[in-house]
Structure 1
Amino acid sequence: MTHPTDTPATPAPSPPPLGADTRPLWRHASLTRFLIGRVGSIVAQQMLLLAISWHMYDLTSSTWDLGLVGLCQFLPGLATTLLAGHCADRMHRGRLVAICLVAQALTATLLATTTAMHMVSRDSLLLLSLMLGAIRPFQMSGQQSLLPMLVPPALLARSMALSTMVQQVSVIAGPALGGLLFAIGVNAVYLTCIVSFSVSAVLYATVRYDYVPPAREPVTAKTLLAGLHFVGTHPLLLGGISLDLFAVLFGGATALLPVYAKEILHVGPQGLGLLRSAPAVGALCVGFLLSRRAISRGVGKKLLIAVAVYGLCIIAFGLSRWFPVSLILLAIAGGADTISVIVRQTLIQLETPNAMRGRVAAVNTLFIGASNQLGEFESGLTATAFGVVGSVVAGGCATVLIAVTWSRLFKPLARRETLQ
C-alpha cells in the first residue's frame, strides 16, 4: 500500500515468466559486474562463517561459544546500522560495498595468519566476529539500495529475480565448497575467501550508475532515524519485517548445525556444508516456481502459512536422526522462508523512494541481523539450558505461535491480497 504522502521509487511491474528473454538484462555491464561480484562475496561470506563456527566448536566443544559467535556478529550492527544507511544514501554505493569486501578480506587474512602460526584462540575468533558484525551493515545497505540504480524501471523486477537466483546458488555453493576445502585444512577455506573477497571488491568498485552526489547535510538524529520512522509509519512493512525477525530469531537452527553434524547426525564438516546449503536449495526451487507464477492473491495469508510451515519443519528437523530427512526438512524450511523474503523485499521496493532506500535497507539489515545473529545466540543459550534438541524443537514451536499471533496483531498484513 502506498501512502498519499510517499512516492514509491518505481512502479513494480509484474515479474515475467522465467523463460522470458533475459538478453536486455545482460546488456547492462554494471548489472553483470554486480551479479558476478555478488556471487564471489556471498560464497566467501558463507565459507567464512562456516569456517569460524566449525573452528570455534572444534576448539571449545561448547554450544555457548557457538552462540557467542552469533552474538558478536550481531551486537556491532546495533551501533553501525543506522550510520550505514546514512552512508548508503550519501556515498557511491558500489564503492561502499567494495570497501566492505576489502575489510572482510583483511579479516580472513588475519584468520589465516593466526591459524598458520597456531595462535588462533577462542578470544581471537570472537574478536574477528565482532569485526565482521560491524562491517556487514554497510555492505548490506549499499548492496540492497544499489541494484535498482543499475537497470531501467521496466527491468527492475526481472533483475531482482535474477539477483535472488544468483544469491541462492551462491548460498548453496559457499558452504558446500567450504566443506570440501575443509578436507585440505581450515586455512584453505580462509585463503579462498581472501581471493574471492578481493575479486568481488574490484567488480563492485567498477560498477557505474547515474550517481549524483547529494547535497551535504549534517549527520543528525533525524537523518539517522529517518528509516526507522519510515518503516514505523507503514504498518504493512512493520508487520512483515517484524514477523521475519521473530520467526527466524526463535526458529533458526543455524548456530547448532555443527553440533548436529558432529554429534547427532555424525556427518562431519562435509555434512555440515550440506546442512548449511540445504535451506538454499529449497529457496532456489521456490524462487524458480514463483518466477514462473508469482503470488497474485492472498499474499498475507500465504505469508503467514509459510512462516508456520517453516516452524513445523524446524520442529521435525530437531527430532530427526536421519541425515537425508534432515536435509529435506531444511530445504522445505528454506523454501518457506523465501516466500517471506519475496513478499518483504517487494513491499520495501514499492514503498520506498530512492533517496530513502539506503536508510530503509539499513533498518531491514538491522532486523535481519537480529533474526540471524541474535538468533544464533538464543540457540546457544537455550541449548546450554535445555539441550540441543530441546532448543531447536522449542524454537520451531515458538515460530508457529508467532505466525498465529501476527495474524491477529497485524490484520492489514494478514488480509493483504496483492503485493501491489
Structure 2
Amino acid sequence: MRFLLGILLLMILTGAKAQNFTGTWDFKYRPYPTALPINMQLNIGKATEKMLYPANLKITYGDFIFSYELLLVKKNSTQLGIGRNKYPIIETPFKIKQWMPYLNGVLTLSKSKTRQAQLSLQRMWIDNFGLFMRGLDEGDEIYESSKVNMRNLLYREKITLIKTNSTPWTNPHIPRIVAPTEKNNIYYGIYDPITTKDSVVTLAIQDEELIDADTITLIQNGRMILNKHAIDEKKFSHELHLDTGMNTLALFADNYGRKPPNTGNLIVKTSENMYSFDFSNRSNAFATFLVAKFYSTYSKPTLSDNQPIGNKPVKIQKKKIAPEKPIDRNTDVIANMQVENKQIELEIWDGQVEDGDSVSLKLNNEWVHQKIAVKKTSKRFYLTLQPGKNTLLFRADNLGSVPPNTAVLCIYYGDKTRTVYLDTDMKRDNILNIEFRPKTN
C-alpha cells in the first residue's frame, strides 16, 4: 500500500512539473523612474508532443499595444527555447517586430525569493548594427523616443517574468503554431512533416561556414539525443531510432560560436531521401532552434494468429518482410544551397592533374548524365529542378590514375555562382542538396 501511494505521489509531482511552463507570466519595466511602465505578458498554452508550447507575447506601453504569436520549445526540464519568428497580431501605433530577433535564447524556470515561479531570459547576443538601427526612422518621428525604449527592452534589459496564474493560453490559432499545414504559410520554426517507412535513420551534423566553436543540442520527443555537441572537423554520424508514429526533433543552437550566428546543419538520411535542416537558412538566421518532424510508418513483424485444429501442433510463422536494397556506398554532403531558379547550369573540370577521372550525376534518383570525362577543359550542362528539395548525387565511375576521383564544380543560378569541390571514390559518393523556392512577387 505504501509503495502504491509513493507511485501515486510521484505521478502527481511529475504531472505538476510538466505543467510548470503553462500559464500567464508578467514583467514590468520602467525606462527611467518617472516613465510610464512597459508591461510584458507571456501567455503559454499546453504542450503538444511533450515539447512544443504555443504562446502569445503582449506588450503594452500606455495606449500602445503590441501582440505576437510565437513558438516555445522545451530544451530540458527547466528551459524553454524562444522561437525566432514572432507573428504580429497587433502593432499600434508603430512596429517593433524588426527588433524581435533580440528576444531569443532560453527562458529558465526557477523560484524567486518569495517562492514565486519565474522565467528568466538568457539571450544569445546579436551584434548587428543594421538590425539595431532598423525602423527608427519609419513613420512619425514623435514616436522615436518610445521606439528607443522598446528596442532597449528587447535588446539588452534584464527580463524576469513572474507567474501570475497556471491557466493555459487558448486560441483558435494554436494549431497553426504547433502543427503547420501546407495551407498555412506562417513559419514559426517547424518544418513540414516527412513520412518514412524506416525505424532507424542516419543523422549527420556539420557547420555550413567556418569551424568556429558552434555547439548544438538535439531533442527527440522530449528525450535528449545530443547535449552541447561541438561541431568540428570530425565527421559525425549517428543512428537515430524512431518511435512509431510522429517523431519531433528540435535542434537547438547553444551558442553563436566565435562568428555569429550558429550555422549548424542537421542532415537526416532516410531510405527514401536526404533532408537538410540548416541554421544558415535565411528563415533561421540567429534562431535559437528549428524543429523537424518525421512520421515513421514502421511496424514490427508479428507472429501469425494460427488457431489449433484438434490435437495437431500449431506452426508459428513470421510475416515475410521484403529485404531493403543494400546501400553500395557512403555519402558525403558537400554543400546545401537554396535557389530561386528552376533551371541551373553546372560547369565541371579537373582542377588538379588530368588523370582520366569519370563521374556520373543523379538528380532526384534519376541518372541524368553518366560517365562524364573530367578534364582540364570544362564541360557545361543544364539541370531542371523540381519545386522544393532536390538531391544531386555525384558518383565516381573510376579513380583515374591518381586516386581519389576529384573535380571542381561551379553552379550558376540566376546572377549568382557557387563553387564546390568533388572528392569521391569507389566507396563514397558526394551529395549536393539544392532547395528550389520560386521567387514570389
Band the TM-score falls in, shorter-chain normalisation: under 0.3
If each structure's strand is expressed as a fraction of its own residues, which one has the higher value? 2
If each structure's helix is expressed as a fraction of its own residues, which one has the higher value? 1
Where relative contact order (Cα < 8 A, 6+ residues apart) is larger, the structure is 1
TM-score w.r.t. the length of structure 1 is 0.25
TM-score w.r.t. the length of structure 2 is 0.24
